[in-house]
Amino acid sequence: MARQLIDQFAAQLPEDRRASVYGGSKVGHEKRTKVLFDHFPDADRLRELAGEIKQHVVENLDTYLPKIEASLIAAGVKVHWAATAEAANKAVLDIMRARGATRMVKSKTMVSEETHLADYLQQNGIDCLETDLGEFIVQIDGDHPSHIVKPIIHKNRREIAQSFERHGLGAYDDDPQTITRRARRFLRKKYLEADVALTGGNFLVAESGRLVLVTNEGNSRFCLAATKTHIAMVGIEKILPRDRDLALLLNLLARSATAQQLTVYTEFIKGPRSSTQPDGPEEMHVILVDNGRTDVLESDCREILRCIRCGACLNVCPIYRQASGHAYRSVYPGPVGAVLSPLLAGKKFPELADLPKASSLCGACNEVCPVNIPIPDLLLRLRNKGKEEGAKIASAGTPPMGGWAVLATQPMLWKTAMMGGKILDVLPEKFVPVPAFRAWTDQRTLPGWRGGVFRKWMRTRETKPRQPTVGP
Ligand code: SF4
């Protein structure tokens, strides 16, 4: 039987890489749980509330989008709308070309990964440099991020030291402080040379037009300090209604993503620099990116648009821990990716229709999600969509169920099979004709066959007179 692509990838993953991903995500999850529940007596109620706020925005995007546009314009921001990835990338390029700019420093943004902005700009003669340490390492290695928050969770420090040596950033030294110091020295010069800074946006507040950025390295602040133009590429679902909503969302985001009370740098940006500010960009552009989001909004999986990209569902997912982020063949890995990537793929949905099956449906992703997204339900809906659309890739690794369906819909056949099951009690396991079954029994002893017990119990239940209900 053909195995699913994600299984094939996991089977070939080198052991040290699996250990890095497993260890990094397990530690991340444990710290997050401790911090969240130590600090909040009813963290689950907060998750529900955050989910309600984000769902409210999702349900009312038609109202909030004009509102955020008006607030941004009032704050002196130029607003651009991009329906597709190509339109978003072109908007960035047009802004740069209009200013004769050729050098960009870029802070980490998932939406720009989605549009493959860095490659696009390089192909068009723009020098585009990632400044988040993890993203910088990924860029010089020609690699891809494998986690939303920790892009190099799959690498160890020896690999990074080798990479720095290869790219002329210093002789081999795998001391983390040395690695960080070398990256910092290299990047500082680039910040000063750049013309344009590109950031994402963790939140955009409709009421005030505030863009909120959270980082732990301060790189977004450096990007903005010396450049004249700031471009923010933001997905249209990143809106929050009011500034006061940030109190809840920022508290949950930092704890869920990196187990911190607050990320080290939390920036609130309202327009370009004012005449009283000594530095900062003279102009600010916000590109509001759709790229399939309105299609998701129309679907029965719209709850996924609540996602605040904290990565907590990746850390807790048993599949992600074993397979790593690259196994998901898309920008968004883990449980969120298994839902979002096939949806954002649009007409290419059948190419990623296997991802919703990359889940044991244990529900842990829902339990940790700071905006309470019912990911297992969405995975089931997408499995159904894959079946309805006849996506072949989705059925790889699924045992044929035709025989089972016949058995389960014919009572006589079912009863006979139940009686036949008793043979298993006496048949030596080596004679069982199903290899997968034998593999299972190699590790466990099967309990004795009890087929039919449930039906007998049901029969007694039906004939027993019901006890009268005692009223209050
Ligand atoms: S789905 Fe929830 S847990 Fe996963 S990244 Fe998004 S917000 Fe975080």
Q: How far apart are CA 287 and CA 234, in angstroms?
A: 6
The predicted pLDDT at position 121 comes to 97
Of all protein residues, whose CA lies closest to atom 4 belonging to ligand 1? Answer: 313
The predicted pLDDT at position 91 comes to 98
The predicted pLDDT at position 470 comes to 56
Helix (H) or strand (E) holding 232: strand 229-235
Q: What does the pLDDT look like over 68-92, one tens digit per residue?
A: 999 999 999 999 999 999 999 999 9
Tell me phi and psi for residue 288, to 5 degrees. Answer: -90, 115
CB of 307 closer than 6 A to ligand 1? yes
Q: How far apart are CA 340 and CA 208, in angstroms?
A: 29
If one compares 349 and 467, the residue with the highest pLDDT of the two is 349
CB of 373 closer than 6 A to ligand 1? yes
The predicted pLDDT at position 465 comes to 66
pTM score of the predicted model: 0.87
CB of 336 closer than 6 A to ligand 1? yes
The predicted pLDDT at position 1 comes to 63
Q: What does the pLDDT look like over 399-445, one tens digit per residue?
A: 777 888 888 899 888 888 888 777 877 877 777 767 777 777 777 77
User: Looking at the predicted structure, is the pLDDT value of residue 273 above 70?
Assistant: yes
276 burial (CB, 10 Å; 0-12 / 13-18 / 19+) is exposed
The predicted pLDDT at position 421 comes to 79
CA of 53 to the centre of ligand 1 (A): 15
If one compares 469 and 456, the residue with the highest pLDDT of the two is 456
Q: How far apart are CA 449 and CA 421, in angstroms?
A: 7
CB of 257 closer than 6 A to ligand 1? no
Q: Say what percent of the chain tops pLDDT 90.
A: 80
The predicted pLDDT at position 2 comes to 73
Q: What does the pLDDT look like over 280-334, one tens digit per residue?
A: 999 999 999 999 999 999 999 999 999 999 999 999 999 999 999 999 999 999 9
For ligand 1, mutation pick of 310, 365, 372, 382 (most atoms within 8 Å of CB): 310
Residue 288 bridge partners (DSSP): 81, 234
